Each structure stands twice: as structure tokens, then as C-alpha cells.
A and B are shown apart, each in its own frame.
Chain A
Amino acid sequence: MAVIQHTPHEDLPPPVSQTGVIGWLRQNLFSSWLNSLLTLLAAYIVWKTLMPLIDWAFIKADWIGTSREDCSSGGACWVFVSVRFKQFMYGLYPEAEQWRINLMAILFVLLMIPMFIKNFPWKKWLGMFILFGFPIIGYYLLSGGAFGLEHIETSLWGGLTLTLVLAAVGIVAALPLGILLALGRRSKMPIVRALSVAFIELWRGVPLITVLFMASVMLPLFLPEGAQFDKLLRALIGIVLFQSAYMAEVVRGGLQAIPKGQYEAAEALGLSYWKSMGLIILPQALKLVIPGIVNTFIALFKDTTLVLIIGLFDLLAMIQSATQDTKWLGFSIEGYVFAAVTFWIFCFGMSRYSQALERKLHTGH
């Protein structure tokens, strides 16, 4: 008896109407007459709103030139931004010294690169250096007054540089302070706990704008004459204290999410309080609240623009000030769009970084 080998016919490719672009369109956009109608309507709205925007921002825009006379096409006048670009980046920092800011930025990027390399051996030390050593180098680079560098007053710092300084100092200083406050709030020692609660609730109870006003308007009146200290420093202290209160609550959320068994296990191992926190509880808690922490950072980054109400020239204030130049009156929209794009780039970057960090640290159950 002959063995009949049954060979199934090769699979037919799915019908054209279900694959590729057409299939995708049919499935997602034109699956029923109602969906088709909505798709067309949405496309029409996008077309109507997006086209004028593209037209304004790119097609009719002026890019090259030096004065407002070069903006004759009727679209966006990016000349304004390009003429003022250096000021938007560096503020009123003296032009001859701007290399210091550039050097600092390059140094930071170079230091950060190894942090993204998977098996870089000295990551821990490098991280420590970025957190504690780099700010000192950065301070001397920006402020000068030592190592033969000319002293640059903080009133001349401005633009994106100042925004980044405010955000970076706020972030770097608020996290450890916030962790301490969160631990304090969950402490069994009544005084520590009461103080932490009082601190957190006080700073969370006032808006940042009030804190900045107090720092810039009220504080100088109470200081003895001649003891006035730098406006930027006052604002920074305000921001750090304010931010640490929020950070404390985020971290506390993480601490509460750790099962009691972990605490007990740490105690059973005979670890001291700080060791059990540092080795067992905090690494887990902080990992849990990465989204919350980054969220706070992004909020802080955007909140730094509030310093414009106390006369510090961050990116937004610098742009607003530039729109008041009689030579460039009336180009505020271009300025604001530039500010929006810049802020979006930084905030989006932070959010992507946090997602990457979450994936990397995800050890799952």
C-alpha cells in the first residue's frame, strides 16, 4: 500500500484588504461608515488647523537676517530668535566668558555618557562625582572668582543657563532632603516625626510664588544692612525647601508600598536602622516611585519660570525682556513658541529617561 504523503498546500497570503497600509487603514480608520465619516472629519480639522501653522512656522517664515526689516514674508520671524539666541542661552553673561558655560555643558555631557554604557565599571563613583563633585566645579566655572577666572555676578546669569542651574540645584538638593524628611515622617521618634510633618505641611501649604516673593521682597527687610545676600541664592534656597517637601511625600508613598515583611526581614538580619533603610527598603521604595519623582522634577523644571516675577532672567523672562526691545516690538509669539519648544524638549527628554530607567530597574516578580 502506497503511503500517501499528505503535503498541505502552502498558506495563502492574507487578502490584500487585510494587510499592509490598506489593511491597517480599513481596520482602524474605515471599519464602518460612521468611523469613515469621523476619520474624514478629523482629517479635515487637522488639515484646516495644521496647514496654517506649518505655513506660518515654516513656509512663510523668515530665517535669515539681522533686523525686523528682514521679516517681510508675513509668517513667523525667526530672525528675532536667531538674533537673540545667545541671550536666550546665556542671559547677560559677558560674551568673552561664555566659553565657561559651554565648557560646563560639554563636561556634563562627557560625564553622563558612561552612565548610559551598560557595563561601565565605576558607575557608582562616577555618579557620586556627578552629584557632589561636579556642582563644585560648575559653581567655580560659572561664578569664577578663583583659579584666575573673572568673577561673574549672579545678576548677569540668565537664559537657559539660569533655568538649568535652578532646576539642577533644585533637583540635586531636594531629593536627599526629601528622602530624609520622608524617613523622618515615618520615624518612631515623636520629635523628629513632628518636625518633619510640620516642615512638610508648612511648605506644601504655601504656593511657590509666595515663597519666591518672601525670599526676594520680605527677607531683605529683616536682614541687617549690608548682610543682604544674593537674590539667586535666596530664590534657590526657597525652591529647594519647597521642592523637598513635595519630594518627601513622593518618597513616603514608596516607603508605604513596601510590605511589612521587608522591614521585619531587615530587622531579623540584625541590620541597624540606616543599614536596613539604605540596603533594603530605600532601593525598593525609590524604584517604585520613579514616575512620581520624575513627575516632580518636570514640574520643578517648569516652575523655575516663576522666578521671572522676582526679576531673575530665566529663559522665559529673557524672552519677555527681548520682546520689549523697541527694535523688535511685536514678535512675542515667536519668542513664546521658542520657549515652548525648548521646554518641551527638556521635559520630554526627562520623561523618556525615566521610562528607560524604570525598564532597566524592573526586576519584577
Chain B
Amino acid sequence: MNHKAVISATALAAAMTFSTASHAGATLDAVKEKGHVQCGVTTGLAGFSQSNDKGVWTGIDVDMCRAVAAAVFGDAGKVKFTPLTAKERFTALQSGEIDMLSRNTTWTLTRDSNLGLNFAGVNYYDGQGFLVSKDLGVKSATELDGAAICIQAGTTTELNLADYFRSKGMKYTPITFDRSEETIKAFEAGRCDVLTSDQSQLYALRIQLAKPESAIVLPEVVSKEPLGPVVRNGDEDWFKIVRWSLSAMLNAEELGISSANIDDLKESSTNPNVRRLIGLEGIKGQGLGLPDDWAYSIVKQVGNYSEVFERNVGKGSALGISRGLNALWADGGIQYAPPIR
């Protein structure tokens, strides 16, 4: 039995090494040859990746893929999406089925070190939070001692919750469900006082209440969930392209460049930082092996980070999530990108 396990583990490891090694440095060439970026997304997660009634994908994770396509091809439309479940996402990336994974994936040590993956940045800082009914009169998570809490089973959410309550010396009664729809229905029916999940999901669940304004999301965040795009180990060039595609969107917001004003700025701006991002001076796309106007294409066709955020999960969407941690560092958040120069 043990012997067998060793053999299959070795075979698995060999297969993984093989598939990653054969890719080194070749992803960009392969992508160019195919003519599109193959991007792994969720099978449907409000605000992150969802398809509308015309089959068009939208979402903050989807826009990350489009940004990479815009950088590589100068055309944000040259991207194809592979909907993946949580269990198959890493295999799809390791086996080369997709070029990048932008699927609501938390950056952790285990994943970064053990799975042969590279996280190219953070496009959304999420964290586990609590949704409570307004009638409860609770203002902070520290007042939740003895509460009945609805959770989705089998997620790290359960573990985080236990850790948090134990560290605060509080008691709670967990009520677990299999799917988010059931969880929110149970919360609405009053089977639990509190519902816990990632904050981004709490907003999506809140809309499903008959009276969304009757519930509030508490300010406390009990876990760190930095979500970001992932690529395979062993192809630094491709890794950098994805990382800088994200950085370009953040830098554009910081510099006040948006899809609306970028053409004007291209003509008139004298700010060297703006001119460098647009690709009029500086290193341009040379180091990344991309066209000079790579960042221009991203901002023009996809938008800066603020546009992407507000359109998909922020004020421009039904979710109405505030920027919070995802605000730029200059505005009190922690979104910070290295400069383009």
C-alpha cells in the first residue's frame, strides 16, 4: 500500500516537473502563436467572473485576463475563458490547458511553494467577515459570544472562524450548509444570527435577502485572503507580463489616467510618469517583449484599476462593495504597485 503510494506520488511529481519544464520561457510565444490568451476563471462568482445572458464574461478576474490580452496583442478581446471548479484549477494550469489562472484564488505559502505556481500579484484583498441582521444591534464581531453562525461546509472559512472565536475566548454554534443559496436562506429564516464568508461574497449574498438593507457587514476581518492571478513556475517572462499588466492598471489610477482621458493625455501630457506609462518615453515594452503601447492598450481597452473595481464589484455594480483595503495606498488602502520607469 505504502509502496504504491510512493510510486504514484513519484509519477505525479514527474508529470508535474515534465509539464512545467517543457514550458520555460515559451508561454508568450505559444500565446502569440495561438492568437489568444487562455484564461481560467470560475464557473460563476458574482463580481469576479460571471457570464451574462449573451455569454459575455465580465468581472474583476475576467478583466485581469483581458488586461493581459490587451498588453500582448493590443486587443483585449483576444482571450478565451476556461471555466474551472476550485478542485481542477491548479491542474489546468500545471498541465498547460490554460496560460493563466484568474479565479478568485488566495495567495498562500502552500500554494506558492508546493504546487509549482507563481502568484503574480493581488488584484483583490479579501478577508473573511460577518453579516448580521440590523435588529441584532451588534456593532462589532467581539460582541458575537454565543451566536449561532451559518457557514458553508468544507471551506477554510470554518477553520478561520474556529480560530477567531478560540483566540477571543468566545463560544458559538456552527450551522453548516453545502451551498451559498442555502446559507443565505437559512440566515433569512432566522436559523442563525450571523453568516460568515469572504467579505466580497457577503455583499453578493446580502442582495439575495428580501430586504438587503436589513443586514450589515461588520467591520472586522478575521482572515487574510489576498486574491490574485496565478501562472506556472518556470516562465519568468510570462510571469512578469501578468504582474506588470496588473501594475499598469494600478499605476494608471494613481496617475489619474483612465480609459476616458488617456487619448487626451497622450497628446498633451508633459508629466514624465504619464508619458512613460503611455509608452512615449522610457523603457516602454522592451523589457517585457511587448509592444511599446502595452500599458496604453490596457488602460484604453480595459480601464485603470478603479474603473475595473467600480464596474464589477463597486458602485457601478449591484454589489456596491466599498474600496476598503483595495483603495490605493495614497487613499488609505494597501493597493500599491511598483512604478513604471
Contacts and interface: CB of A to CB of B under 8 A. Distances in A.
A176 interface: no
A327 B208 contact: no
B261 interface: no
Interface in A226-269: 226, 228, 231
A349 interface: no
B207 interface: yes
| Residue with the greatest number of chain A CB neighbours at <10 A, chosen from B54, B84, B95 | B95
Contact of A223 (B43, B95, B207): B95
Given A220-B95, A225-B19, A326 B318 contact: yes
A330 B207 contact: yes
A309 interface: yes
B43 A83 contact: no
Interface residues of B, number: 40
Nearest to B95: A220
A216 B88 contact: yes
Interface stretch (B45-53, B69-77, B148-156, B162-170): B45-53
Interface string B37-77: 00000011111001111110000000000000000000000
Contact of B43 (A86, A217, A308, A332): A308
A84 B46 contact: no
B96 A228 contact: yes
Chain A interface residue bracket vs B: 35 or more
Nearest to B41: A311
Interface stretch (B10-18, B247-255, B282-290, B296-304): B10-18
Contact of B181 (A91, A228, A323): A323
Interface in B1-37: 11-12, 15-16, 18-19, 22-23
B43 A321 contact: yes
B208 A329 contact: yes
B50 A330 contact: no
A68 to B, nearest CB: 9
B291 interface: no
Interface in A274-313: 308-311, 313
Contact of B91 (A95, A220, A321): A220
Contacts of B325: none
Nearest to A222: B15
B95 A92 contact: no
Given A155-B83, A324-B46, 14 more contacts: A95-B54, A156-B55, A216-B91, A220-B92, A221-B19, A221-B91, A311-B84, A311-B85, A313-B43, A317-B43, A321-B51, A324-B50, A324-B204, A329-B208
Interface of B: 11-12, 15-16, 18-19, 22-23, 43-47, 50-55, 80, 82-85, 87-88, 91-92, 94-97, 181, 204, 207-209, 317-319
Complex A-B, nearest 4 residue pairs according to Cβ-Cβ distance, in ascending order = A330-B208, A321-B44, A324-B44, A220-B95
20 contacts: A83-B53, A91-B55, A94-B55, A95-B55, A156-B55, A217-B87, A220-B91, A221-B15, A225-B19, A226-B96, A228-B95, A310-B88, A313-B83, A320-B44, A321-B83, A322-B44, A324-B45, A325-B50, A325-B52, A326-B317
